Amino acid sequence: MSWQSYIDSLKTADQSGLVPVNEAAICGIAPGQESVWVSTPGLSSITAEEIKKLSGDRSGFGQHGVYIGGQRCRLIRDQMDTDPIFALDLKTAADADGNAYGICVGKSKTAVVIVKGTKDASGGQLSSKVFTVVSHLRKSNM
């Protein structure tokens, strides 16, 4: 399976019939090789430094937030080290129209899977999508 097929899978309709994921990325987390492997245009600007922070020490996220693709996000819930969840739930700062978007980051052994939701997507919809991909990657020892 190509990395693009994972992105395509993330951007399909869920059980409600709606497509909750607007943007998605899969990034490698090997030390010194942090990079975006595949992404939609809206998450293509994720930096190696942002990837390091997402896959490393997140203790300051609650107080200082985190940036993804240059966009400031606040921490909602950190279960990145909780088996079998391995996910981090974030919310973007409000845009010019006052809209804030959910972001879910899941972690496998070699990558982080990042999704940004549509305006009306719930955190549960996003985490369900991420959980499916991260579970597959972990079972594949990736």
Q: With 90 as the cut, is the pLDDT of residue 5 above it? A: yes
* pLDDT tens per residue, range 115-136: 999 999 999 999 999 999 999 9
Domain holding 69, by residue range, is 3-139
Which pLDDT value is given to residue 132? 95
* pLDDT tens per residue, range 20-43: 999 999 999 999 999 999 999 999
Count: domains in the chain: 1
For residue 88, give the H/E element and its range: strand 87-92
- For residues 140 and 142, give the distance between their C-alpha atoms in angstroms, rounded to a whole number: 5
Q: 0.85 cut: is pTM over it?
A: yes
The domain that holds 102 is classified in CATH as: 3.30.450.30
